[in-house]
Amino acid sequence: MTGCTRVSAGCDHCYAHTVAHRRTRDIYLKKAPVRPNAALASDPFAPRFWEERLERPLALRTPRRIFVNSMSDVFHAHFTLEMIRRVFEVMCRANWHQFQVLTKRPDRALRLAPELPWADHIWLGTSVEDMRVAHRVDALRRIRQPRIRFVSAEPLLGSLDTLDLTGIHWVIGGGESGPGYRHCDPAWARGLRDLCQRRRVRFFWKQWGGLTPKAGGRWLDGREWNEYPVELPLAVHR
């Protein structure tokens, strides 16, 4: 899946939108959007379903973490239940990987979850850039199917000190990167880390951000925070 539409402030400087319009524009425009019309056909970031790419994870024989997906939102309204189910079926078959599904639309994920195949190696998360969208975590915690539920606080645009982490296993935090990036206050990062420690939730600080993702490094108070809820399995079951 590729393509999306903006839903909140965290989308304002979306890297996937930039990539689609600058680096992959010609490739994407050759593919019809899932709801074809004149306006969408000329938009490289319109939602598109790439059936020919579905089984690529099955060819990756070494266990790895796979982010699903970096160029779209699996639960975008343009993607049908059948399309989403096919993605989940492939993830279930490729049970030697860990799949991290991140959505800004956990309410739709909540509605569709009972109709999808699930397995313990499929994690589900939602993006929360500030407390204005904290309601997404309320929807996420109501989805009982995933073994691991996580929050991506990236880009972190405000304090999340009062975020309810009940039922959440992992939090990823980070500053914004790219042209026009918005500054991440260190107090927001520390507050989020301290909240995770109080609630015994694993914490991963990804980056401070800047013009490039690595511009500000990723040290927080003298160390890197690389906590995960579980590690990759040592044995490969196929």
Please give the C-alpha separations between residue 21 and each of 13, 131, 212, 222, 227, in angstroms, as whole numbers.
13, 30, 18, 38, 34
CA dist., res. 210 & res. 231, Å (int):
29
Q: What is the full per-residue pLDDT of the chain (238 aa) written as tens digits?
A: 999 999 999 999 999 999 999 999 999 999 999 998 888 999 999 999 999 999 999 999 999 999 998 999 999 999 999 999 999 999 999 999 999 999 999 999 999 999 999 999 999 999 999 999 999 999 999 999 999 999 999 999 999 999 999 999 999 999 999 989 999 999 999 999 999 999 999 999 999 999 999 999 999 999 999 999 987 654 444 4
- Burial class of residue 83, CB neighbours in 10 A (0-12, 13-18, 19+): middle
> pTM to 2 decimals?
0.95
CA dist., res. 150 & res. 105, Å (int):
14
